[in-house]
Amino acid sequence: VINDPIHGHIEFHPLLIRIIDTPQFQRLRYIKQLGGGYYVFPGASHNRFEHSLGVGYLAGRLVRELSEKQPELQISERDMLCVQIAGLCHDLGHGPFSHMFDGRFIPLARPDVKWTHEQGSVMMFEHLVNSNGLRDVMEHYGLIPEEDIWFIKEQITGPPESPIKDSSKWLYKGRPKEKSFLYEIVANKRNGIDVDKWDYFARDCHHLGIQNNFDYKRFIKFARVCEVDDRKHICTREKEVGNLYDMFHTRNSLHRRAYQHKVGNIIDTMITDAFLKADPYIEITGSEGKKYHISTAIDDMEAFTKLT
């Protein structure tokens, strides 16, 4: 049982505890959720670690609620575990100071590379599973690693190939089209309403001293899976539209008052400058004893694990 300031007492399945208790996951304790924002908002000392626990928890809450309300969806325990694992692991790929790293530093240090923290999360998840021998543990708890690792990674990054022309084609490998709604829980590529936002809205507001009027518990209560254009989607009652407007209002407030705070952004730029100047001189040992710099550690997950 973990006591979280946002969600209260939360419990995790033993497989999730095994994932949390790895160096790759514990690394998130040392990465500030809001990067340079901490230098402007002294309350914003929270890290990716607690946010990730919160997203894992909320992913479980939503998928379990759907399963109990609509048994005909045939959501299995295996599905529920995979959705929670994706929630837990969706931010494993963040670098030091979170978005400053993938948003400012990497594009300047390595303009040739298109790198996102989602890609990083998928690489780090692979590394976490392999270097801690978790495939056997996953099997022990009823998962099928071949299929389920795909499914977990797809929930973090979206479909493997970019949906080019034919949007009616089902691009995911981890789960069939009948379970399309499972891909809308952790990172909703369709409309951006997902448990990742619910956690960081509540958590960031709490630490920044900003009012959050969005009630995710209420949204979960009214969530249903409905068939729309021959795909199953997570939907809500139209009378809940007001609560949804509150969610986007909270998002707007956070962007205006915190994420795009001018001094915060200037500090991020200054930290980025320091990183760029230090980059040639800093050495991080990766796999097989190979040496990496801050900007190249993204190529080797053993090196990246040490980079906070």
Whether the pLDDT of residue 167 is over 90: the answer is: no
Boundaries of every domain in the chain: 2-305
| Burial readout 212-243 (b: 16 or more C-beta within 10 A, e: otherwise) | bebebeebbeebebeeeeebbbbbbeeebeeb
Active-site annotation holds for 117: yes
Question: How many Cβ atoms from other residues are within 10 Å of residue 111's Cβ?
Answer: 8
Cα separation, 182 vs 177, in Å, equals 10
The per-residue pLDDT for range 117-151, each reduced to its tens digit, is 999 999 999 999 999 999 999 999 999 999 999 99
| Burial of 259 from C-beta contacts in 10 A (0-12 / 13-18 / 19+) | middle
**Prediction pTM value:** 0.97
The per-residue pLDDT for range 25-77, each reduced to its tens digit, is 999 999 999 999 999 999 999 999 999 999 999 999 999 999 999 999 999 99
Mean pLDDT of all residues in 233-249: 96
19, 82 contact by CB (below 8 A): no
161 pLDDT band (50/70/90 cuts)?
A: confident
pLDDT of 164: 63
Mean pLDDT of all residues in 5-26: 99
168 pLDDT band (50/70/90 cuts)?
A: confident
CATH architecture of 2-305: Orthogonal Bundle (1.10)
The per-residue pLDDT for range 95-122, each reduced to its tens digit, is 999 999 999 999 999 999 999 999 999 9
Residue 239, CA atoms < 13 Å, CB-side half-sphere: 3
The per-residue pLDDT for range 191-228, each reduced to its tens digit, is 999 999 999 999 999 999 999 999 999 999 999 999 99
Whether the pLDDT of residue 163 is over 80: the answer is: no
17 pLDDT band (50/70/90 cuts)?
A: very high
Arithmetic mean of pLDDT over the chain: 97
Whether the pLDDT of residue 162 is over 80: the answer is: no
Cα separation, 128 vs 123, in Å, equals 9
Which amino acid is it at 253?
Answer: S
Mean pLDDT of all residues in 276-283: 99
The catalytically annotated residue of 117, 127, 207, 261 is: 117
pLDDT of 165: 64
Which amino acid is it at 30?
Answer: Y
Residue 53, CA atoms < 13 Å, CB-side half-sphere: 24
